[in-house]
Every structure is written in C-alpha cells, then in structure tokens.
Amino acid sequence: AVPSLSNPTFMQAHQLATRMGLLPHKRMIVRTIDTGGAGPITSLGTARNMILSGWTDTVAVVASDAVLSMDREAFRARADESVRGSGLPSPAIPHGYDRVAQWHMRRHGVTREQLAMVPAIFSHFAARHPDAMCRRPFGVDEVLASPRVAPVTNVLECARRADGAAALVVASSSHFRRHFGKPLELCPAIVSTGEASGPLYPPAEIDEDLFSCERAARIAFETAQLSVRDIDFFALYDCFPICFLRALEAVGCCPVGDAGEFVERAWRKLSAHGALAPAEFPFNLHGGLACFGAPWEVPAMYGVLEAVAQLTGRAGPDRQIAPKPRRALVYGNGGIFSASAVAVLGDGVY
Ligand code: CAA
C-alpha cells in the first residue's frame, strides 16, 4: 500500500491488513511503499521482483486517499509540510513546479500557452470518461483566465484534489493460468520497471540534474529490450503541465526542449477538428491528474488502470485506441520531481 495524506498512519499497509483481518499470517508480507506519487509504479516493480524471486505468487497493490474531503486549509498545511525546508511560498507544491516551468520556459522556449494546452487537451479526454471529475471540455483561454496560483500556473493546471482508491492484483503467469484458466493475453504483463530518484525539492539553481524520469525510462526500456517506438499508449504523470512536458521528452516521444511544440501540434489538430481520435494522441486518455482527479499518491494507479483497459481492449468505444495497443508505458512522479518510476506493460520479454 502507499501512504495516505488525509489519514496518515504508521505503516499504512500493516494498518490496512490488520483491519481486513489478514494479519497475523505466517506467509503474508506487508509493505508500505513511499515514493510519493511514484508509489503505485514502484509498487508494481516491487511486486514483480517479489514474484520473480519466488517469494510469492500474488501481490495486491492498494492505493487510496481522500484529500477532497479534507478541509482546504488542512490540505494546504499538510501538502506544504511534505516539502518542509524548501522555502517555497504556500501552496508550496504548485510553486515548486512553477519554478521548474519558468526555468523550462527560459531554457527551451516553452510558451505560457503551450503549458495551458496540456489540461485543455486532457479536458476533452476526461469528458469521455464516466469517472472523471472534469465533465466539460475547456480551451486554452479558459485555462489562462482561471485564478492564478503561481506566476505561470493557474487553477485549471493543478492536480485536482480528489477522493479515490484503486487496487490491482499482480500474479505470476503460472498462478494466473492455474486459477483463472484464461489466456495470458487477457492480462497484460509487467514487462519491466525502472526507478530513479531526485532531490526532495528543486535546488536554488535548477539544472538538468533535477530530473530522474530519463534514467527510470532508460532502465525500463533496457530491461525490456524495447524502445519508445514499441509503445502504443502512454500514461504520463501530469500533476502540472511541466511534469507532462518533461515526461514526453524523458521517455523519448520528442527531443528535449520540443515538448511544447509537440503538444501545440496536437492542440491545433484538436481545435481544427473539434476532437482527437485516441490513436492521434495516445496519452492519458482517462484525463490525467488535473482532469480525471488526483487523490495524492493514487493517480499513477489510474494511469495503470487506463493502460490495462487499453491493452485488453476494454476502454470502450470513446476511448479505445484502435487497433488495440500491444504495449503501454506508465510513469509515476513523486514529490517535486523527487522520484520517478516507469513500467512497461503488455507483450514483451519477461
Ligand atoms: N480543475 C478544475 N477545478 C479545480 C482544479 C482543477 N484542476 N483544481 C482546483 N480546482 C477548483 C476546486 O474544485 C475548487 O472549486 P470550488 O471552489 O468550486 O469547490 C477551487 O478550484 C479551489 O480549490 P481548492 O478547494 O483546492 O482550494 P484552494 O483555492 O485553497 O487551492 C489549489 C487551490 C492551490 C490549486 C489546490 O487545489 C492545490 O494545491 N492543488 C494541487 C494539489 C497538489 O499539489 N497535489 C499534488 C501534486 S504533486 C504529486 O502528485 C506528486 C506526489 O508525490 C503526491
């Protein structure tokens, strides 16, 4: 399990397992994984390693939080506290990402409008998902007119406070065959995972060393003996637009510095036709953190669930990529670019 912000407890997974009556149990291993928003993907890697090393045949990964039910001041205080010592003004997390966005604008020429295009595109996707919080597509003007939270960050660009939970069972292929009797194609494999760490908050002087997603993606690709060309769907963490732009570059969808233009091309196409087919922009088709919703450390799990839906052809007529994707990449980001975890799901060498 990953920790909860709204109901923090010592050893979250033990609390959960105890309340469910699963402990004590001689063969049960219970572990809380804290890499912030990267937690669900770190957990997939941990589950895969436990299974590959023969410790167990099945692992349940559980993530839940209720930060929308929190009083807004209590949320702000606890969120600020998570980057204690950063010296960032409140709200500290949006301000931390904002600093990185400003640096990226100066260094790579990303425009304010290009940042705003990220949630605008995802609002169109979220409107097709029955569980998404954003029910109505909006445009760049609306993003830029929404209340300002930090110098280049407005409300519609922020991870949206949400209550929510998601769980996933990871099983060995032999266990799956024995107990479910279904062909493996109905259940995507965790082909590989990669992980890397950055500082708890951005240093006074930001440079390329801040980012760790590149390293995590490289490890995942090398382990899988695959490249970005083998991926058909991407769930990339987008707590703020800069996180998504940087992820596009990190996983190799475009060269470093070109993500703003990459997004702008998609936005222009969407604006010209009124919509994008899922295969035209195969990213965060559930809507991502600003539009689907962000219960603190849960959202990467939503990315995994969308990837599983896409890979198994169960995303429904509005969102399904056709033809059905073979492989997906999911990326979780913790803190302010503090932890990166990447998983490749689907067909592959595993
Ligand atoms: N889309 C639409 N509306 C939004 C929105 C979004 N993305 N984000 C906020 N809003 C709306 C809220 O629904 C609310 O609307 P109502 O007044 O109609 O209820 C309004 O904006 C005000 O929002 P809040 O209630 O949250 O109150 P606020 O004004 O005190 O705070 C905020 C606004 C500073 C943007 C706050 O919502 C916030 O801090 N958001 C970011 C949350 C965050 O940092 N999450 C973690 C991201 S980093 C990460 O994910 C990594 C990790 O390791 C956890």
Flag whether pLDDT at 350 surpasses 50: no
pLDDT band at 347 (very low <50, low <70, confident <90, very high): confident
CA atoms of 249 and 245, how far apart (whole Å) = 7
CA distance linking residue 111 with residue 321, whole number of Å: 30
Structure letter (DSSP) for residue 161: B
Rounded Cα distance between 211 and 231, Å, is 22
Report the nearest-CA residue for atom 45 of ligand 1: 159
Residue % of the chain over a pLDDT of 70:
98
- 133-163 pLDDT, tens per residue? 999 999 999 999 999 999 999 999 999 999 9
Q: Whose CA is nearest to atom 21 of ligand 1?
A: 155
Summarize pLDDT for 158-172 with one digit per residue, the tens: 999 999 999 999 999
- pLDDT value at 80 more than 80: yes
Q: How far is the CA of 103 from the centre of ligand 1 (A)?
A: 23
Is the pLDDT at 86 greater than 90, yes or no? yes
Lowest mean pLDDT among 22-26, 102-106, 265-269, 305-309: 22-26
Nearest atom in ligand 1 to 39's CA: 53
Question: How far out from the chain centre does Cα 74 lie?
Answer: 24
Specify the residue with its C-alpha closest to ligand 1, atom 43. 159
Query: Which residue's CA is the nearest one to ligand 1's atom 1?
Result: 156
pLDDT digits (tens, 9 = 90+) for 207-226: 999 999 999 999 999 999 99
CA angle 59, 65, 66 (to 5 degrees): 155
Q: In this structure, which residue's CA is closest to atom 29 in ligand 1? A: 72
Please give the Cα distance from 167 to 170 (Å, whole number).
10
The vertex-189 CA angle with 276 and 119, nearest 5°, equals 30
Backbone angles phi, psi at 141, to 5 degrees: -60, -40
10 Å Cβ neighbour count for 210? 18
Q: Which residues line ligand 1 (CB under 6 A)?
A: 36-37, 72, 76, 79, 91, 93-94, 149, 155-156, 158-161, 239, 290, 294, 296-297, 333-335
- What are the backbone dihedrals phi and psi of residue 175, each rounded to the nearest 5 degrees, phi first? -65, -45
What pLDDT is attached to residue 334? 98
Mean pLDDT computed over every residue of the chain: 96
Over residues 109-113, mean pLDDT: 98
> What's the CA angle centered on 152, arms 83 and 82, to 5 degrees?
10
Phi, psi dihedral angles at 233 (to 5 degrees): -145, 140
Mean pLDDT value of segment 269-275:
97
Q: Say how many Å lie between the CA of residue 66 and the centre of ligand 1.
A: 13
Q: Which atom of ligand 1 is nearest to the CA of 76?
A: 39
**67: which 2 tokens?**
């930060």
Whether 104 has a pLDDT exceeding 80, the answer reads yes
DSSP state of 67: S
